[in-house]
């Protein structure tokens, strides 16, 4: 796989990106796929994993690091979803320029949290995207928080936010918060994060109250409108996902106004199967590749 390094700007910050192609099998008739990371993700983790899966099939894949991650500029490890949406939209602009020159389509794929981020990004760059792929995403943050925490835990979290907001409003200093206190992990996903993802160079994140505010306001499902009516969408999800429950893809499928397909990966949780040689990852990535060919 060949990596073609690219830099681009988002809100004046220089972001690190790359096109990935197979030196022996690059099909100029296939779309260019933008693979977007989820929470705490980096270009060198899942975007490159999908690139390794899809470039041998002839696809060109683009991956990048959000501001503050990898070699991109910005406040280190800060996650504000509205900012990441703009990073995605600016990545689309760069990819669309190349795709237009080559007479190709652009498909926008988001993993995990980015499964929802791409929906908000599409509303910014609708004329530059030809297909959407939401992989193991969530589309209503409060709905997921309630599912993960239970009603009692959700009330406790809301009380924490109210207390912290008052402290900050009175002039208190920001303090670091464990990101997984804000965005809780199921046990299987936690094991994967702390055994596999931590191996990636530069992996890690710190959080504060701004991330909590940004996350709780996140509800891309509510912003679907006529702009999506002609854009094909694949919603691909682990059938046994305990982090982003299977009710999430089903709710998005019901709400999505355009052409749509739903694929539930048998025996797939959220992320424990995200390994190049895992049969479930091969099945998942191959299904998406076939869908992209069919909708090209």
Collapsed DSSP state (helix, strand, coil) of residue 50: helix
Is pLDDT of 189 > 90? no
pLDDT digits (tens, 9 = 90+) for 279-289: 999 999 999 99
Q: Which two structure tokens, joined as six digits, stand for 262?
A: 């739903």
Confidence of residue 208 (pLDDT cuts 50, 70, 90): confident
pLDDT tens, residue by residue, 30-71: 999 999 999 877 899 899 999 999 999 999 999 999 999 999
Residues 6+ apart with CB under 8 A from 232: 131, 132, 258, 259, 260, 261, 295
* pLDDT tens per residue, range 138-169: 999 999 999 999 999 999 999 999 999 999 99
Nearest partner of 79 among 126, 46, 54, 112, judged by Cα: 112
pLDDT at 202 over 60: no
Q: Which pLDDT tens digit goes with each residue over 115-141? A: 999 999 999 999 999 999 999 999 999
Higher pLDDT, 223 or 180: 223
Q: What is the pLDDT of residue 267?
A: 96
pLDDT(193) > 70: no
For a pLDDT cut of 90, what percent of the chain falls above it? Answer: 82
Closest CA to 145 of 244, 272, 236, 221: 244
Query: How much is the pLDDT for 15?
Result: 97
Q: How confident is the model at residue 204 (pLDDT cuts 50, 70, 90)?
A: low
Residue 98's nearest CA partner among 52, 37, 33 is 33
**What stretches of 67-175 show up as alpha helix (H) in DSSP?**
81-102, 114-122, 141-169
Nearest Cα neighbor of 114 from 76, 78, 85 is 85
- Whole-prediction pTM value? 0.94
Tens-digit pLDDT profile for residues 225-256: 999 999 999 999 999 999 999 999 999 999 99
């Amino acid at each position: 796989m060949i990596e073609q390094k690219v830099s681009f700007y988002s809100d004046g910050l220089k972001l690190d990106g790359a096109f990935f192609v197979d030196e022996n099998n690059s099909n100029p008739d296939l779309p260019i796929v933008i693979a977007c990371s989820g929470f705490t993700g980096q270009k060198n983790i899942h975007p490159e994993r999908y690139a390794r899966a899809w470039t041998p099939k002839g696809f060109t894949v683009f991956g990048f690091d959000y501001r503050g991650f990898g070699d991109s500029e910005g406040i280190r490890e800060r996650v504000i979803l509205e900012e990441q949406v703009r990073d995605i939209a600016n990545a689309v602009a760069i990819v669309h320029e190349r795709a237009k020159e080559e007479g190709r389509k652009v498909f926008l794929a988001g993993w995990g949290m980015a499964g929802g981020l791409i929906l908000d990004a599409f509303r910014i760059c609708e004329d530059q995207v030809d297909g959407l792929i939401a992989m193991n995403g969530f589309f209503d943050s409060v709905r997921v928080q309630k599912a993960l925490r239970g009603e009692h835990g959700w009330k406790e979290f809301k009380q924490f936010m109210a207390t912290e907001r008052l402290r900050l409003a009175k002039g208190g200093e920001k303090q670091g918060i464990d990101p997984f206190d804000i965005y809780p992990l199921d046990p299987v996903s936690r094991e994967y994060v702390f055994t596999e993802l931590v191996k990636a160079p530069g992996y890690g994140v710190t959080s504060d109250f701004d991330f909590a505010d940004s996350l709780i306001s996140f509800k891309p499902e509510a912003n679907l409108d006529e702009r999506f009516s002609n854009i094909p969408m694949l919603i691909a999800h682990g059938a046994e996902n305990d982090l982003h429950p299977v009710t999430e893809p089903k709710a998005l499928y019901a709400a999505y106004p355009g052409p749509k397909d739903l694929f539930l990966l048998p025996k797939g949780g959220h992320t424990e199967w995200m390994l190049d040689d895992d049969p479930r990852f091969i099945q998942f990535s191959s299904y998406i590749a076939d869908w992209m060919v069919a909708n090209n």
